[in-house]
Amino acid sequence: MESVTALIDKQALIHNIKVIKNKAKDSKVIAVIKANAYGHGAIAVANALKDKVEGFAVARIGEAMDLRRDGIKNPIFLLEGFYNDDDLPFISKYDLYTAVNTMEQVEAIERVPFSKPIHVWVQVDIGMHRLGSNDKSTIAKIKSRLEKCDKVIKPLGLLSHLSVADTPAEVEYNKTQISNFFDFAKDMQGDLCLTNSAGIFDWNESHTQWIRPGIVMYGISPFDDRTGEDLGLKPVMTLKSNLIAINKVKKGDKIGYGAYYVAPKDTTIGIVSCGYGDGYPRTAPNGTPVLINGRYVQTAGHVCMDMLFVDLGEHCTDKVGDEVILWGKGLPVEKIASLCNTIPYELICHVMPRVEFIFG
């Protein structure tokens, strides 16, 4: 009886890639596997997908180097670009595709010696105000300097990111962002790469040569009003634990730290061997569902570091050792996230190293 297990379902991952490709039939897929593949295990996910997608994307150069050292040969995109001169020889050596966000980065490419020319994507700001310039003349300067530089492979790619493709109240702003992108694209000869999961599903006009799905690959919806299942996806991660103790309590008994749950009637409290030290959110309120023996029961009391409480009901037949599903198959992580006032991205990224990962 392992304390907490994250089952990573390879078939579900492959299914989700098929659904994504079907949404954007003419696009090449860059699977976003930053942050340890959203907590699923970057090396394992990359190996499962290396023949099914064209490329991978990460945020940090260390993440990219780990993939190359493990033998991943596909294009690997650095979505944040690079921030130290010392990174450039590695970008060249490991054949990484880097975003270029600033003139300082252009100057570094010109100045720092490295052997093989590198692939670059000019990053433009179309409305998020995070990375890249929104100024046409700055972008034109960046572009012309990079085009003159023989350490850069031509043609240059164009990269940007949508900030409200999942936000119903910002439909007009999303349209503006897409049109800003295609405005910048008029001056570019190379490939375009714009869209994330939400754009892939809801904004066909954001599809370009390359698409960058993240959360949907893992079977999870980027939208508040739909689950992954509603989108035809299958959850890849199922987080499981077990009951390790069962306590009969009386009406009025106070459960756990701070007496946050008071038994509303005589009942049975189950202790599950999973807590915030495993990545289960402490912000989960009383009443957050878990799945035990085919039924939903509710958490009762504050989540502890290593355990949490559930109210099994007075006449339950559950036993010590029984399996408990915290999220995944049968219980969408989207639902847990919304009860915790966060997004599913955060919950899956926070699964801790002490959890045992089973990839199959």
Ligand X SMILES: *Cc1c(COP(=O)(O)O)cnc(C)c1O
- Using CB under 6 A, list all residues that contact ligand X: 32, 34, 79, 161, 196-197, 212-215, 222
Q: Is 34 a catalytic residue?
A: yes
At residue 31, what are phi and psi to the nearest 5 degrees?
Answer: -75, 125
Q: State in angstroms the smallest separation of the CB of 196 from ligand X.
A: 4
**163 vs 241 by CB, closer to ligand X:** 163
Provide, rounded to whole angstroms, the least separation between the CB of residue 58 and ligand X: 10
Q: Which residue is nearest to ligand X (CB)?
A: 214
What letter would DSSP give residue 257?
G
Nearer to ligand X, 206 or 267 (CB): 206
Place of tokens 């966060």: 342
Least separation, in Å, of the C-beta of 210 and ligand X?
Answer: 11
Query: Residue 115 Cβ, how far from ligand X at the closest point, in Å?
Result: 28
Work out how close the CB of 141 gets to ligand X at its nearest, in angstroms, rounded to a whole number: 23
SS (H, E, C) 262-309: ECCCCEEEEEECCCCCCCCCCCCCCCCEEEECCEEEEECCCCCCCCEE
125 vs 318, which CB is nearer to ligand X? 125
Distance CA 281, CA 172 (A): 34
Q: How many CB atoms lie within 10 A of CB 338?
A: 13
> Is 213 or 270 the residue whose CB approaches ligand X more closely?
213
Query: Of the candidates 234, 309, 225, 236, which has an alpha carbon nearest to the alpha carbon of residue 267?
Result: 309
Cβ-based nearer residue to ligand X, 120 or 215: 215
Distance from chain centroid for Cα 242: 26
**What is the number of residues in the chain?**
360
Q: What is the token pair recorded at 191? A: 């490939």
Six token digits for residue 323: 């399996």
Tokens of 2: 């392992």
Tell me the β-bridge partners of 37.
none
In this structure, what token pair is assigned to residue 272?
Answer: 């599950």
Is residue 212 annotated as involved in ligand binding?
no
Q: Which is nearer to ligand X, 127 or 213 (CB)?
A: 213
To ligand X, the closest distance from the beta carbon of 220 in angstroms equals: 9
Residue 130 annotated as binding?
yes
Long-range CB contact pairs, 297-304, < 8 A, 24+: 297/270, 300/255, 300/256, 300/261, 300/263, 300/269, 301/255, 301/256, 301/257, 301/260, 301/261, 302/256, 302/257, 302/258, 302/260, 303/275, 303/276, 304/256, 304/257, 304/275, 304/276
Question: Which listed residue (248, 257, 265, 319) is catalytic?
Answer: 257
Q: Which residue out of 34, 143, 234, 240 is catalytically annotated?
A: 34
Quickly count: other Cβ atoms within 10 Å of residue 157's Cβ: 23
173 a catalytic residue: no
Mark the binding-site residues, compressed into ranges. Answer: 130, 305
Mark the binding-site residues for substrate, compressed into ranges. Answer: 130, 305
Q: Which residues are catalytic?
A: 34, 257
